[in-house]
Structure 1
Amino acid sequence: MALRTETDRETGVALVTLDRPEKHNAIDLATAAELAAAWQAFRFDDGVRAVVLTGAGGRAFCTGIDRGVDVPQPPSPYTIDDPLLTIGPKANDLWKPVIAAVEGMACGGAFYLLGEAEFVIASETAAFFDPHTTYGMVSAYEAIAMAQRMPFGEVARMSLMGTAERVSARRAYETGLVSEVTAAGGAVDAALRAAGVIASYPTRAVQGTVRAVWSAREAARTQAMAHAPHLIALGNLPPERQADLFRGRGGGEFRTR
């Protein structure tokens, strides 16, 4: 198991931990399935009223998809199969509050998770970056997720600078990605305290508020997400394959994130 789930039945708070520290908590297909199953299980568990999500080991919250993963793709250039699209709580119709607690690196596909948390607490060791453009890949879903949380210029800078620049916890706080910065090692405890407060309130009021907050941003996000597969499918192809597409030969491939 690459995912640990612990629930405090007294407080109603569940702690979900990505547990692949030797891989910097990168997500393989099994981990993606475990995450989806965990969110779905929480939907039916009235004893869970708030969730904290973190990564084991302290060196990384999550570094996106495990680059060793082979993801078979359909031949159409207009679609991709991205296993990270189903790893977040909102993608699994969970409208209970989720707080992300970040220690160390959070990069690339980690933004699928951060983008679906209600808010993010980070320790002073945290660093955020998006490596896609450095490796000739389109940052679409990641950039869309961060565009819901950060000013346009900050999202564009992080997405375009790739591995050349890392956003510190303090800068992330200043731009709105992070709501609280703690001392090293303190992110989980701070997130658990906040989750405990939220879990102590009437459940229907909390979940209704979560849904209302998300409804305010869903229209723009939905439109942007609809464009993402086409941008990725075309932009991630090598130049010769892009030329083939313009000549009408079709086909497609996916570079893991």
Structure 2
Amino acid sequence: MTTPSDAGGLRVTADKDSGVAVLTLDRPARLNAIDLTTAAELAAAWREFRFDDSVRAVVVTGAGTRAFCTGLDRDADVPQPNSPYMIDDPLIAIGPKANDLWKPVVAAVNGMACGGAFYLIGEAEFVVADESATFFDPHTTYGMVSAYESIYLAQRMPPGEVARMALMGNAERISARRAYEVGLVSEVTAPGEAVEAAVRSAAVIASYPVEAVQGTVRACWAAKEAARAHAFAQAPHLIALGNLPSERQAGLFTARRSAFRTR
């Protein structure tokens, strides 16, 4: 593997022979939470892949064993317009589809995947997870609306499972096995083997004719786009109406309990 890019919170490696790039969130000390710099790097990386014909498939993962991604870094300073009609979401453009990349993307999940992680998982073609992976959405626990996250999940899981994950917040996590049962995950591996399995699948896909692969990716997403676009249009207003003020969110975050149930 070569390393064409290694800056900030993101690490990119690419194997020119297989045509597979591995994009790694590299902030393990912060549980791979995404700050504003990393968000910008993600958007830039996806857009660079659009012009690199040597990259025919991408695996996205997180560094370390504790987390794939835990969403937006709580310490990120995100200024907001003083209007319910203009909500700036710093994670809205961190995924491949948001950056008009129609090369196949496989997510390899290790450890926790929660909150804003679903912006990446939701725009991957499919998800490989190792047995240590857990999935949850803490928004409601901290007085925030789970809008974009729930919309992404609703395109992969039964509605009742999405509602349960979003509403149970920090109190419950879905195991890799349960995520496989409900369709969020397509393959469960032994601990530490998710990236290898994802790269293996990506290499097979990358070996096929590019036009057929990208056309198939686009066709699969065409079935989802109308519903997703309509739902996304409602999200900013729901967030503006339902989110607690930031200082109250911070208080709930500080007072959070560590106990949770995994199912």
What TM-score, normalized by structure 2, do the two folds share? Answer: 0.90
SS of aligned partner of 1:84 = coil
Unaligned runs of 5+ in 2: 1-7, 254-263
- 2:197 is matched with which residue: 186, 190, 196? 190
User: Which amino acid counterpart does residue 9 of structure 2 have in structure 1?
Assistant: A
Aligned to 1:121: 128
Aligned to 1:97: 104
SS of aligned partner of 1:79 = coil
Aligned to 1:217: 224
The whole-number CA distance in structure 1 between the counterparts of 2:87 and 2:248 is: 7
Aligned to 1:53: 60
Aligned to 1:152: 159
Give the superposition deviation at 1:232: 0.3
In the TM superposition, what whole-angstrom CA distance separates every residue of 1:136-188 from its partner, at most 9, and x where no partner exists? 11000000000000000000000000000000000000000000000000100
1:199 aligns with 2:203: no
1:139 aligns with 2:140: no
Distance 1:87 1:204, change over 3 A: same
Moved more, 228-237 or 196-205: 228-237
The question of whether the paired residues in 2 share the 8 Å contact of 1:73 and 1:253 is answered with no
Distance 1:254 1:94, change over 3 A: farther
Give the superposition deviation at 1:255: 6.6
Distance 1:254 1:144, change over 3 A: farther
The whole-number CA distance in structure 2 between the counterparts of 1:237 and 1:200 is: 49
The whole-number CA distance in structure 2 between the counterparts of 1:88 and 1:233 is: 23
The question of whether the paired residues in 2 share the 8 Å contact of 1:32 and 1:84 is answered with yes
Give the superposition deviation at 1:82: 0.6
The whole-number CA distance in structure 1 between the counterparts of 2:90 and 2:248 is: 11
The whole-number CA distance in structure 2 between the counterparts of 1:46 and 1:107 is: 32
The question of whether the paired residues in 1 share the 8 Å contact of 2:132 and 2:176 is answered with yes
- 1:15 is matched with which residue: 22, 37, 40? 22
The question of whether the paired residues in 1 share the 8 Å contact of 2:142 and 2:249 is answered with no
- 2:183 is matched with which residue: 169, 176, 179? 176
- Written as runs of structure 1 = structure 2, the 5 A alignment for 1:25-104 is 25-104=32-111
SS of aligned partner of 1:106 = strand
Q: Percent of aligned positions with the same letter in both sequences?
A: 75
In the TM superposition, what whole-angstrom CA distance separates every residue of 1:33-66 from its partner, at most 9, and x where no partner exists? 0000000000000000000000001110000000
Give the superposition deviation at 1:76: 1.1
The question of whether the paired residues in 1 share the 8 Å contact of 2:20 and 2:206 is answered with yes
Distance 1:195 1:253, change over 3 A: same
Moved more, 77-86 or 31-40: 77-86
SS of aligned partner of 1:16 = strand
Give the superposition deviation at 1:79: 2.0
Divergent runs of 4+, >6 A: 252-257
The whole-number CA distance in structure 1 between the counterparts of 2:77 and 2:241 is: 19
Aligned to 1:208: 215
User: Which amino acid counterpart does residue 93 of structure 1 have in structure 2?
Assistant: D
Aligned to 2:168: 161
Q: Which has the higher contact order (CA 8 A, sep 6+)?
A: 1
The whole-number CA distance in structure 1 between the counterparts of 2:53 and 2:247 is: 42
